[in-house]
Amino acid sequence: MITYAVVIPTIGRAGLAQLVATVDGQPAPSCIVVADDRRDATSALDLPATTAPLVVVRTHGRGPAAARNAGWRAADADWIAFLDDDVAIPLDWCRRLVADLDDLPDDVAASQAWIYVPAPDDRLPTDGERRTMNLSGALWITADMAYRRSALLATGGFDERFPRAFREDADLALRTVRLGYSIVWGERVTTHPLAPSAGWRSSLRAQAGNADNALLHAKYGRQWRSLIGTTPGSTGRHLITTVAATAALAALASGWVALTRGHWARVAATAGLVWAGLTAEFAAGRILSGPRTAREISTVLVTSVLIPPFAVAHRLRGELRVRFAGLKDIRIPSGKPRAVLFDRDGTLIEDVPYLADPHRVRPVPGARRTLNHLRRHGVAVGVISNQSGVARGLIHAEELARVNARVESLLGPFDTWQVCPHGPDDGCGCRKPEPGLVTAAARELGLAPHECLMIGDIGSDVDAALAAGARAVLVPTRHTKVGEIDHAYLVAAVAPTLRSAVRRHVGRSR
Ligand SMILES: [Mg+2]
Ligand SMILES: [Zn+2]
């Protein structure tokens, strides 16, 4: 029988107490975590008494990604079920959830509920309501989504650079799938009620999501929309509309100043027509899909004029942030590496501190198969290892040679061995996180560093690879620090096993 914890990020909306009472059901969750993301959390949340342990963590308005991360890290269970605080779940939700999760194969990382958004029955939905209705059937949204905790550890969880409830869920799901996991639909159905009207400005506020699109673009490249299964965006159209409006206004202004009306008036009229045509088409589409009340029509007319420049401005803000906040190089490279360099201890063989006895060499599960797969496909393999035990006098050079010979006899031949025998205070350029061993391996193989992929179990393996200009994948063990995993998933990649690291980053085994 599986164990599960429920994590509810909240900004203190009205349905929270009811939701907590319902998830306190049977089979019981191992704990319920409420992640209180109110910026000003001076008053206590309205929470019922529960049978299951109830934990409250505070994230001070850092957004749903940060709140969910704080929540799952505080919960110990096989599965973490994320629920938004504005959904309505059936009374037997716990039973339905467990039925969905029980017996899922190990490579399934997540189970997503069907989200039902009831449409208003007496009229067409308003513009704001249609945004909520888009949740229905949307891929990978986290309003009711359960992840394996091990998969969250492997990916590092949500990317907290997504500040609002937009794209952060698709980003996590995409990284999860890229590690070789799959995400399935469960059978449980959760209702997302239509929110009461959020005012005429809500469609303008929603344009902030264009900044998050810029971050996704930077992370996954131009195909990001098809990767997350979303429809083509309207940024290009909005850009043309905004440029036409700007050109019309600029031509009018020039004509006014220069008093040479004829030429500038023609430019202004042409640009103005383009703007008017695009804006009218945009507004008409939005009016025809909604209730044609005077209020809704006037809201749509005003916002149809304002949305294009808002969208363009937010996208520009997102692009500038990517450029100037050090996010430019976050693209996960897609060419296949020609060599894979492995850390030895904790990556290829079980980590035994200062290992000097060849009889204690134990390969990690799957290491031999993974290496043979690479050799069969003509990918060079190497070992990159810090052995400060030599400098410390704990390992003799001959012992090290015998241990490494034993590694080869168990795992097969390596194309290059690079070992640093120095201590941390020797100031050498080869001890990881220095890049020396990685550059030496690339040179010996006749490759450029960027053609090499380094796989290791700690942060200094990743840092050495990146410093040398190689790529890196972290395969964490029990001993890997959470901060190092977080860092690796931002600057490189993380995989749960050697096999999945190679399958994802070098090529699929057949
Ligand atoms: Mg290691
Ligand atoms: Zn060294």
Sequence-distant (≥ 6) Cβ neighbours of residue 220 within 8 angstroms = 174, 227, 331, 332
Pair 153, 220 in one domain: no
**Mean pLDDT over residues 340-365, rounded?**
96
Q: Is the peptide bond before 433 cis (omega within 30 degrees of 0)?
A: yes
Same domain, 192 and 290: no
Cβ atoms of 501 and 366 within 8 Å: the answer is: no
Domain assignment present for residue 259? The answer is yes
Name the nearest CA neighbour of 462 among 480, 441, 443, 444: 480
d(CA 430, CA 420): 6
Q: Say yes or no: 187 and 306 in one domain.
A: no
Find the 459 Cα to ligand 1 centroid distance in Å. Answer: 9
Q: For residue 95, what are the contacts with CB-CB under 8 A and spacing of at least 6?
A: 25, 26, 27
- Which has the closest alpha carbon to 474: 382, 461, 401? 461
240 lies in which domain range? Answer: 199-331
Helix (H, G, I), strand (E, B) or coil at 203: helix
Q: Does residue 28 share a domain with residue 114? A: yes
CA nearest neighbour of 4 among 104, 89, 91, 86: 104
* 343 catalytic residue (yes or no): yes
**Same domain? 269 vs 151:** no
Distance CA 31, CA 375 (A): 46
Overall number of domains in the chain: 3
What is the rounded CA–CA span in Å between residue 268 and residue 277?
14
Q: Out of 331, 347, 372, pick the residue that ends a domain.
A: 331
- Which residue, of 197, 220, 246, is where some domain finishes? 197
What pLDDT, on a 0 to 100 scale, did the predictor assign at position 510?
32
Of 197, 223, 250, which one is at a domain's C-terminal end? 197
Q: What percent of the chain clears pLDDT 90, i.e. is strictly above it? A: 53
Question: How far, in Å, is the centroid of ligand 1 from the Cα of 201?
Answer: 53
- What one-character-per-residue DSSP string does 384-439 give? EEE-HHHHTTSS-HHHHHHHHHHHHHHH---SEEEEE---TTS--SSSTTSSHHHH
What value does the mean pLDDT take over residues 283-291?
A: 88
Give 355 Cα–ligand 1 centroid separation in angstroms: 12
Residue 158 covered by a domain: yes
Rounded Cα–Cα distance for residues 230 and 239 (Å): 20
Task: Say if residue 409 is in the same domain as residue 296.
Answer: no
The answer to whether residue 31 sits within a structural domain is yes
Alpha carbons 384 and 382: distance in angstroms, whole number? 7
Distance in Å, CA 296 to ligand 1 centroid? 61
Task: Kindly state whether residues 385 and 464 are assigned to the same domain.
Answer: yes
Residues 292 and 344 in one domain: no
β partners of residue 454: 341, 472
Across the range 106-123, mean pLDDT stands at 90
Q: Are 10 and 150 part of one and the same domain?
A: yes
Q: Which helix (H) or strand (E) holds 308?
A: helix 294-324
- Any domain includes 408: yes
What is residue 257's predicted lDDT score, i.e. its pLDDT?
Answer: 60
The CATH number of whichever domain residue 475 belongs to comes to 3.40.50.1000
Instruction: Decide which of 268 and 94 is more confident.
Output: 94
Query: Using CA of residue 431, residue 434, residue 439, residue 442, what is the dihedral sign?
Result: positive
* pTM for the full predicted model: 0.66
How many Å lie between the centroid of ligand 2 and the Cα of residue 415?
20
**pLDDT digits over 60-103, tens only?**
899 999 999 999 999 989 999 999 999 999 999 999 999 999 98
C-beta contacts of 203-207 below 8 A and 24+ residues apart = 203/127, 203/128, 203/131, 203/303, 203/307, 204/303, 204/306, 204/307, 204/310, 206/131, 207/307, 207/310, 207/311, 207/313, 207/314
Distances (CA, A) of 481 to 109, 157, 475: 22, 14, 12
Tokens standing for 285?
């589409």
Asked, for residue 467, whether it belongs to a domain, the answer is yes
Residues 170 and 246 in one domain: no
Confidence bin at 122 (pLDDT 50/70/90): confident
Ligand nearest to C-alpha 458: 1
Nearest ligand to the CA of 431 is: 2
Do 176 and 119 lie in one domain? The reply is yes
Are 72 and 157 spatial neighbours (Cβ–Cβ below 8 Å)? yes
Catalytic residue among 343, 457, 461, 463: 343
Say which ligand is closest to the CA of 435.
Answer: 2
Q: Would residue 127 show up in a list of annotated catalytic residues for this protein?
A: no
Q: How many CB atoms lie within 10 A of CB 102?
A: 11
How is residue 321 written in tokens?
Answer: 């942030």
Q: How far is the CA of 447 from the centre of ligand 1 (A)?
A: 24
Residue 465: inside a domain: yes
Query: Which ligand does the CA of 425 lie closest to?
Result: 2
Please compute the mean of the pLDDT values over residues 294-312 and round it to a whole number.
89
Is there a single domain that holds both residue 322 and residue 380?
A: no
Question: Can you spell out the DSSP letters for 69-138?
Answer: HHHHHT--SSEEEEE-TT-B--TTHHHHHHHHHTT--TTEEEEEEEEE-PPPSSSPPPHHHHHHHTTTT-
Q: What is the mean pLDDT of residues 106-121?
A: 90
- Active-site residue identified among 345, 457, 461, 463: 345
CATH of the domain at 8: 3.90.550.10
Distance CA 400, CA 80 (A): 44
Does residue 108 fall inside a structural domain? yes
Task: Please give the mean pLDDT across all residues of the chain.
Answer: 88
| Whether pLDDT at 225 is above 90 | no
Token pair for 406? 């034993």
Residue 510 lies in a domain: no
Report the Cα 465 to chain-centroid distance in Å: 22
